[in-house]
Structure 1
Amino acid sequence: MRERFVAVPSFGSRAEEIVGRSAVASTERLALAAEFGPLARFVASADVTDVFVNGGRDVWVDRGSGLVRAEVTALDAHETRDLAVRLVALGGRHVDEATPCVDVRLAGGVRVHVVLPPIAASGTVVSIRLPPERRLGLEDLAASGLFGGEASRVDRLMRAVGARTNLLVTGAGGSGKTTLLGALLAAAPPDERIVTIEDVAELRIDHPHVVGLQTRQANVEGAGDLSLGRLVRESLRMRPDRLVLGECRGSEVRELLAALNTGHDGGAGTLHANSLDDVPARLEALGALAGMSPTALARQAVSAIGLVLHVERAAGARRLSATGHLVLAADGRLAIRRGQW
C-alpha cells in the first residue's frame, strides 16, 4: 500500500496538513516540520531517520532500512537553495558563497547540513538527520539488537560507566555512535554534572544535569569563531564531572587527551573510524594536526582512554561489533588490543 500525503504548499503551512501511514512525530517535531516546505511530511514522520535533497534533482529518504527515492513535489535549483538558506538561518547561522558548507541544529535535535554550488557541483545539497523521537537507553538499544541479544553486555557497559571509565565510541557516519554515547551517559549517576562540547549540538542525554556547549562560526568579517579546542579548555572551568566531546575530528584531540589525563574521569567522545583496528591510525592522524608526535599521542591516549567501543551499520541494522583497549606497541606507537565481547 502506497503512502498518501497532502502536499505542503508553503513554509507557513500547518503541520496538521501532513498525513500518511507513518507514525506521527512529537509536537515539537510537527511544529518544526512546516518550516521544511515540501519535505515537511518526512520531518513529521517518526520513522524517518534521514532526508537528502540532491541539487534540486531528487529526494531520498531512509526509514531505518536503507535509502529509497521519495515521491515529492519537485524542488528546482532556486527553491532548494532558498530552503537551505532558510533552514540554516533558523539554526542561527549563515550560508553563502563565502561560507558554502554549514551544519546547524534545529529544534528537537534535527540536524541540517548544507553545501552550496559550486562546491556542490550538481546544485545545492541538503542533508537532514532526524533523531529518534524517544531518547534511547541501554535497555532500548539491547532490545533493538545492538548488543547481540546478551544482557551481560549491557551489565558490562553499566559497570564501565559506574567505574568512570573514559570511553571512546568509534564507527562510520550513521552507525549509531551518538545514540550509543547518549545512552551510556544517561546511565551516569544523577548527581553528576555532564558538560558536552559539539560542533553542532546533537547529543540527547536523558540525564537531569547536562550543560551543552556548541561551536560558533566566524561572522561575515571573519571574526568571532569559537572552536572545539577552545570550548574544551573553557569547559574545564565549569567543574564537569563528565567531560564529553561529541566528535573528535581535528586538533582538539590534544585538549581532550590533556583533560582526560588531569583527573577528569568518566569522560567520553566519538571518533570516525572504519574498524576497531583503524582507531590508532585515526588518532595519530588527528594528533599530527595538533603537532603531536606518534609517540607523544600514544602515551597520552593510552593513559586517557580506558575503553573503545566500535559500532557498525550493515543492511540497515546497527550493532556493537567490537571493543578494545589502547596499548603501547613495542616501537612506542599506539596499538589496540581487542577485548572479550
Structure 2
Amino acid sequence: MSVLAAGGVRPAGAPVLSGDLVDAVRERLRGTAPGDDELVRAVEQVARDRGAVLGSAVLPAAVQAVRAAILGAGPLQPFLDDPRVSDVLVNGPRDVWVELDGRLTQTDVDLGSDDDVRALAVRLAAADGQRLDDGVPTVDARLPDGTRLHAVLPPVAGGCTLLSLRVVRARTLSMPELVRVGTVAPGLVGVLRALVDVRANLLVSGATGAGKTTLLAALLAWAGHDERIVVIEESGELAPQHPHVVRLLARRANVEGAGRVDLAELVRHALRMRPDRIVLGECRGAEVREVMAALNTGHDGGCATVHANTAADVPARLEALAALAGLSREATAAQASAAFDAVLHLRRTGPGRTRRMLAEVAVVGRTRDGLEVSTAVEADESGVLRRGPGWRRLADRLGIAGLTSLGPGTTSDPPVSPVPVGRAP
C-alpha cells in the first residue's frame, strides 16, 4: 500500500483488468473449486483467446487480481491482505475507509456503481452460504479466510449497500510483545501469569477493537502443554500458541433456515470433550448461562470475553445477557460471582485512541445489592500501577496473601516496599 499525498490509501501494484476478462475466467471455472494451478491456466487461456500474452512479470499480478475478483473481496482484497489493516468499511462506491495501524483513513478505491457494491456484498455473503437480497437485507457472515462480514442493503441502508469487514489475523502477539507495544504494563505480567497458573476463571472485557482476543491468546499460551483447550467461537479469531487447541465454530442457518448450531449448544458439547480449559471467544447472548454453569461445575481455568465500557459495567452487561436466557438478577449474581474470579479490562487510549492497553484487573464478588466487580489493580497510560479495594481478595485468590505491593512502578497510599509477583514474561 502507499499513502497518497491527498491523504487517500490505495493498494499498490494491482493491475486493472477488464470486467469481461474476469467474467470469462469466472465462467470457465464455474462449478469448480480452483486451486492456484487451475486459476493460472484459466487466466492464461482466456487471455490467449483474446489475442494477448501475459508475460512472467504481469501474470502473477493478473492472477492475484482475478483471484480477488472471483474468490476474494475484489478491489478490497489487497486491504484484507495488508497486516496493518484491521477493518475495511464501505459506505459507497467511492467512499471506502480502512483502519490502518489503529487509525481510520479514507482510501481512493473506486468500486464502480452502487449495483457493483451490492453485487460484491451478495457474492461475499454467498461464500458463507448466506442469503442477502431484498427479502433478507442484512447479513453476518464469515469469509473463507476468517474475515467477518456485515452487510446491509438499501433501503435499510440509507443510500448504497454498506459493508463492514473485520480482518482476522493468524499471527498472535506474545506477552513480551504486548509489553513492548504498551498493551500490558510490565508490573502486571506477574499477576497475569499467576492468574493462569492458579487456573483462575477470567472474563476479558472491553470495547470493540480493544484487544480482548489478542490478550486472551497470549494468556492461553501460558497454559500447560499437557492441557487440552476447547475454544468456542462464532468465527475463528482466537489462535493461542499452544500445542493442544481444538475449535468449535457456531453455524448460522442456511438459506432454507436449517443447520443452525449456536454458541450455547457448543458450550454443552465442549463439556463432553474432556476439556482442561473451556474458552468462549465472546459472550454476546444467552450462551452466558451455559458458560457460567460450566465454570461452576469444576471446569476451572476457563475464559471468556465480553463487551463493556468499563470493568464496573460488567455486572450490568452480564445481567442483560443472562436475562436473554431467563435468569433473574439474583440468579445471575450468584452464578457469575462463583464462575468468574477476575475481570481483565482493556481500553483504547492515546492520540486517536490507537493504543490498546490493559487498564484494570478486577475481582468479581457478590453483595446484598447484587453482582460487584471491584478494582484490584489499575494502570495509567505510563504503566504506573495503583492498587484498588479488591487487591486483597485478588492476592488471596493467587495464594499471595502476605503480599504488600505489586513491584516497581506501583503506587499506593501509604507507600510500601516493592515485592515481585509471579514470573517474568
TM class by shorter chain equals: 0.7 to 0.9
From 339, 362, 365, give the equivalent of 1:324. 362
Alignment partner of 1:256: what SS? helix
Q: Please give the alpha-carbon distance, in whole angstroms, between the structure 1 residues aligned to 2:156 and 2:201.
A: 38
CA distance in 2, matches of 1:95, 1:201: 22
After TM superposition, the structure 1 stretch with the greater mean CA deviation from structure 2, 293-302 or 211-220, is 211-220
In 1, distance between residues paired with 2:161 and 2:188?
A: 43
The 5-angstrom pairing of residues 292-311 of structure 1 reads 292-311=327-346
**In the TM superposition, what are the counterparts of 1:68-83 in structure 2 within 5 Å?**
68-83=105-120
Structure index of larger Rg: 2
Hey, what's the Cα distance between the residues in 2 that align with 1:6 and 1:145?
35
Instruction: Render the CA deviation track for 1:232-284: whole Å, top value 9, x for unaligned.
Output: 11111111111111110111111110011001111111101111111111111
Deviation at 1:217, TM superposition (A): 1.4
In the TM superposition, 1:217-228 aligns within 5 A as 217-228=252-263
> 2:94·2:110 contact (CA, 8 Å) conserved in 1?
no
Please list the CA deviations of residues 56-102 of structure 1 after superposition, one character each: whole Å capped at 9, or x if unmatched. 34100111231011011233221112212222233344433444333
Counterpart CA distance in 2 for 1:189 and 1:227 is 29
Deviation at 1:340, TM superposition (A): 2.0
Whole-Å separation in 2 of the counterparts to 1:201 and 1:175: 18
Mapping of 1:56-205 within 5 angstroms?
A: 56-132=93-169, 134-148=171-185, 150=186, 152-205=187-240
- SS of the residue corresponding to residue 53 of structure 1 reads strand
- Structure 1: runs of 5+ lacking an equivalent: 19-26
Preserved CA contact (<8 Å) 1:6 1:17: yes
Distance 2:67 2:344 in 1: 36
Is 1:265 aligned to residue 300 of structure 2? Answer: yes
Q: Which residue of 1 aligns with 2:268?
A: 233
SS of the counterpart of 1:173?
Answer: coil
Could you tell me how far apart the structure 1 residues matched to 2:104 and 2:115 are? 25
RMSD: 2.5
Q: Which amino acid aligns with 1:207?
A: H
Counterpart of 2:249 in structure 1 is 214
Measured after TM superposition, the shift of residue 185 of structure 1 is 1.4
What letter is aligned with 2:354? G
Secondary structure of the residue aligned to 1:123 is coil
AA paired with 1:113?
Answer: H
Structure 1 residues 278-297: aligned runs within 5 Å: 278-297=313-332
Q: Which amino acid aligns with 1:340?
A: V
SS at match of 2:239: coil
Q: 1:129 to 1:8 in 2, by over 3 A?
A: farther
Counterpart of 1:35? 72
The one-letter amino acid paired with 1:230 is E
Q: 8 Å contact 1:49–1:130 — kept in the other structure?
A: yes
**DSSP 3-state at the match of 1:46:** coil
CA contact (8 A) 2:117 2:161 kept: yes
Report if the CA contact (8 A) 1:261-1:304 is conserved: yes
Q: Is the 8 A contact 1:111 1:130 kept in 2?
A: yes
Residues 117 and 123, structure 1, Cα contact 8 Å, conserved in 2: yes
Give the TM-score taking structure 1 as reference length. 0.88
In the TM superposition, 1:34-53 aligns within 5 A as: 35-53=72-90
Cα deviation for residue 230 of structure 1 reads 1.2
Shift of 1:7: 4.4
Aligned residues: 328
Hey, what's the Cα distance between the residues in 2 that align with 1:317 and 1:8? 36
Counterpart Cα distance in 1 of 2:258 and 2:207: 32
Letter paired with 1:191? D
Cα distance per residue 1:10-54 (max 9 Å; x no partner)? 677899539xxxxxxxx9xx9769722111221222211211111
Q: Secondary structure at the match of 2:357?
A: strand
Q: Give the Cα–Cα distance (whole angstroms) in 1 for the partners of residues 105 and 84 of structure 2.
A: 14
Shift in Å, 1:211: 1.4
What is the TM-score with the length of structure 2 in the denominator? 0.71
Distance in 1 of aligned mates of 2:59 and 2:344: 39
Q: 1:180 to 1:8 in 2, by over 3 A?
A: farther
Q: Counterpart amino acid of 1:329?
A: T
- How far apart are residue 204 of structure 1 and its match? 1.8
In structure 2, the CA distance between the partners of 1:85 and 1:279, relative to structure 1 (3 Å rule), is same
Structure 2: which 5+ residue stretches go unaligned?
5-9, 26-42, 44-57, 379-425
Matched to 1:316, the amino acid is T
Q: How far apart are the structure 1 equivalents of 2:59 and 2:290?
A: 44
Report the secondary structure of 1:340's partner residue: strand
Q: Aligned partners of 2:126 and 2:170: how far apart in 1? A: 24
Letter aligned with residue 262 of structure 2: S
What SS is found at the alignment partner of 1:336?
strand
CA drift at 1:133: 5.4
- Please state whether the residue corresponding to 2:73 is helix, strand or coil: helix
CA distance in 1, matches of 2:314, 2:84: 32
- Greater shift, 170-179 or 56-65, is seen at 56-65
The C-alpha deviation readout for 1:163-203, integer Å capped at 9, x for no partner, is 11111010111111111111111221122111111122221
Deviations 1:98-146 (A, max 9, x none): 4433333335533222222333223221111223452211111111100
